[in-house]
Amino acid sequence: MNSRAMSVAVIGAALMLASGAQAAPDISGVWEAAAKVRELKTVDGQAPPLNNEARKLYGERMAKWKVHDLSYDPTAKCVSPGMPRILYLPYPFEIIQRPKRITYIFQWNYWNRHVDMSGQKQEAPYPLSLGESSGHWDGDTLVIHTNGLRADNTMLDSAGLPHSEALSLTEHIRLTNGGRRLEDRIRIEDPQTFTRPWETVLTFNRLPDSHEIPLDICLDRIDAGKPAVDWSRKLGE
């Protein structure tokens, strides 16, 4: 490095230190839920604070789920699981991190999610299964806000946890365990479904760099006589 380039680098580093700025952590890679999540719980392991109408609906769906009747669940026919449910299906996803956009590529049916990092709040033109997401870095934590989530054919968990189109999600995502684990603390707000906002925490393990996301066609799996979501699949493989 010549003297001019070195001077520029030193000045740049000094300015970052003076302003308290720091480089964003690199969360790129392939991740998978650390455990199979079929019923979503609060951070303290309790049932979500549903209002009376939503609690009744959840109870009806759960009764069917417990006897393996998935007629209530469009995902059983390859419809998008929605957010945040697609995160904790038993399939990995890849995160591609860029300064102005973070992209999730999900193995399950090859869905993808884009998080706008430009600093402008994004609004969905109409309800979408994965909504519209915008994010920013708060120190070493990635904060993502998601709204515009479709409710007529998506649920928050496999047991049928309902939500309305008033749902909004705020994720606080950070690396732990020396970068080998990703923690996603999600605040869930939906005044039409829940009596108060609540939080849940998901953790994901980093898979080896050699792991690739294969092309996954859900309808091909069903045609082969397999379930749309194969819960017998072993994590980490």
Q: Which pLDDT score is estimated for 40?
A: 97
Provide the pLDDT for residue 57.
98
pLDDT of residue 88: 95
Task: Specify the pTM.
Answer: 0.88
Q: Residue 126's pLDDT is what?
A: 83
Asked, for residue 96, whether it belongs to a domain, the answer is yes
The answer to whether position 184 is within a domain reads yes
13 is a domain residue: no
Tally the residues of the chain.
237
How many domains would you assign to the chain? Answer: 1
| 198 belongs to a structural domain | yes
Query: Residue 71 has what pLDDT?
Result: 97
Please report whether residue 20 resides in a domain.
Answer: no
pLDDT of residue 16: 42
The verdict on residue 118 lying in a domain is: yes
Range of the domain at 117: 30-223
- On whether residue 127 sits in a domain, the answer given is yes
Contacts 24+ apart (CB under 8 A), 126-134: 127/151, 127/165, 129/79, 129/80, 129/81, 129/82, 129/83, 129/153, 129/154, 130/80, 130/82, 130/83, 130/86, 131/83, 131/169
What is the structure's pLDDT at 19? 42
Report the candidate in 73, 86, 137 with the shortest Cα–Cα distance to residue 113: 86
For residue 124, the model assigns a pLDDT of: 73
Is 231 domain-assigned?
no
- The whole-number mean pLDDT for each consecutive block of 10 residues of the chain, a chain of 237 residues, reads 40 42 88 96 97 98 97 97 96 96 96 93 82 96 96 96 98 97 98 98 96 92 94 85
